[in-house]
């Protein structure tokens, strides 16, 4: 599949049974809800997908299952989050074998790599796979920033094509556009600055709360794309208290709880994570229930 870096791509949660096995039935329910809403791709095994807790065989099952579900309608990406270059190359090659359309790649895990090491890591993987790559640039959470100078070097690899821009600095969208034009596609990766980033020229949105609210997320993207900014802003303002659940250490638990309320997921997480409880849980429930009471009536946003 020719990779199109645009639109809404859910960073989907990984569903687990009460016995801590993959819950592929609920997973399929959620993926189909995303497809019905009109998403433009699926991203597996990211932060929201509890990547660090997944076994290699589980990542492969998620990839092949999703490829089977989407049947070529949208691209399927798998996240690469490994501690060594050797493991990252192996993961990329397995993803290619399993039918993935592209890769989302974090810098090396655990070891805080320097600039030269980070660039070499990405280039080594890129040179050992034919899959297109989106570099996940999230220095807030992962402590390694991929600078524009580093991208200048990385873009010598033809299959490094996009960035998941999660610096939380909206002006970075303009910096990237000014320096690289359309050579480096931009997928905004932080829900709370998503519309602002799209309006400044980001090509798409790797989204989190879309896991529970797919129609609202896609509607915002499609409306702003055709210049119906006022309508997009109105939905976004309603959405913001929910979107703020994504910029929290408990984002996985928050969003899975929201999925329960919209009936397309469960609260099961993999230890050491535990479901929310006490006042923390009550506060999240208040946000979700308040949003559901005022859920906007969406305009017809498909085929705009």
For 154-180, what is the mean pLDDT?
97
pLDDT of 141 reads: 87
pLDDT of 137 reads: 96
Q: What distance in Å separates the CA atoms of residue 253 and residue 4, rounded to the nearest whole number?
A: 30
Per-residue pLDDT at 2 exceeds 90: no
Per-residue pLDDT at 239 exceeds 80: yes
Could you read off the pLDDT of 144-166 as tens digits, one per residue?
999 999 999 999 999 999 999 99
Query: pLDDT > 90: what percent of the chain?
Result: 96
3-class secondary structure per residue, 64-109: HHHHHHHCCCCCEEEEECCCCHHHHHHHHHHHHHCCCCEEEECCCC
- Arch. (CATH architecture) of 7-293: Alpha-Beta Barrel (3.20)
pLDDT of 1 reads: 64
pLDDT of 295 reads: 98
**What phi and psi, each to the nearest 5 degrees, are found at residue 18?**
-65, -20
Could you read off the pLDDT of 19-41 as tens digits, one per residue?
999 999 999 999 999 999 999 99
Could you read off the pLDDT of 246-273 as tens digits, one per residue?
999 999 999 999 999 999 999 999 999 9
Could you read off the pLDDT of 217-232 as tens digits, one per residue?
999 999 999 999 999 9
For 170-186, what is the mean pLDDT?
98
Q: What distance in Å separates the CA atoms of residue 219 and residue 201, rounded to the nearest whole number?
A: 17
Query: pLDDT > 70: what percent of the chain?
Result: 100
Place of tokens 């997944």: 54
Per-residue pLDDT at 49 exceeds 80: yes
Could you read off the pLDDT of 96-149 as tens digits, one per residue?
999 999 999 999 998 899 999 999 999 999 999 999 999 999 999 888 999 999
The domain spans of the chain are 7-293
Could you read off the pLDDT of 50-94 as tens digits, one per residue?
999 999 999 999 999 999 999 999 999 999 999 999 999 999 999
Tell how far CA 203 is from the center of its chain: 14
């Amino acid at each position: 599949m020719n990779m199109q870096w645009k639109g809404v791509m859910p960073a989907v949660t990984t569903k687990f049974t009460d016995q801590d096995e993959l819950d592929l039935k609920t997973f399929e329910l959620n993926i189909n809800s995303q497809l019905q809403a009109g998403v433009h791709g699926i991203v597996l095994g990211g932060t929201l997908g509890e990547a660090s807790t997944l076994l290699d065989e589980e990542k492969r099952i998620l990839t092949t299952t999703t490829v089977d579900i989407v049947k070529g309608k949208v691209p399927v990406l798998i996240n690469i989050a490994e501690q060594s270059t050797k493991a990252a190359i192996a993961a990329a090659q397995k993803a290619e074998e399993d039918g993935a359309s592209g890769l989302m790649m974090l810098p090396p895990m655990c070891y805080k790599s320097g600039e030269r090491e980070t660039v070499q890591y990405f280039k080594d993987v890129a040179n050992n796979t034919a899959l297109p790559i989106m570099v996940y640039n999230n220095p807030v959470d992962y402590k390694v920033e991929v600078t524009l100078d580093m991208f200048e070097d990385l873009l010598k690899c033809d299959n490094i094509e996009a960035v998941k821009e999660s610096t939380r600095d909206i002006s970075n969208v303009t910096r990237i556009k000014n320096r690289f034009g359309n050579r480096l596609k931009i997928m905004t990766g932080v829900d709370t600055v998503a519309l602002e980033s799209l309006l400044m020229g980001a090509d798409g949105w790797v989204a989190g709360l879309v896991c529970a609210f797919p129609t609202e997320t896609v509607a915002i993207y499609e409306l702003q794309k055709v210049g119906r900014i006022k309508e997009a802003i109105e939905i976004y303002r309603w959405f913001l208290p929910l979107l703020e659940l994504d910029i929290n250490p408990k984002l996985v638990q928050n969003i899975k709880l929201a999925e329960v309320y919209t009936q397309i997921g469960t609260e099961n997480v993999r230890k050491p994570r535990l479901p929310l409880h006490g006042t923390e849980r009550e506060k999240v429930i208040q946000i979700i229930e308040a949003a559901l009471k005022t859920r906007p009536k969406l305009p017809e946003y498909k085929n705009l």
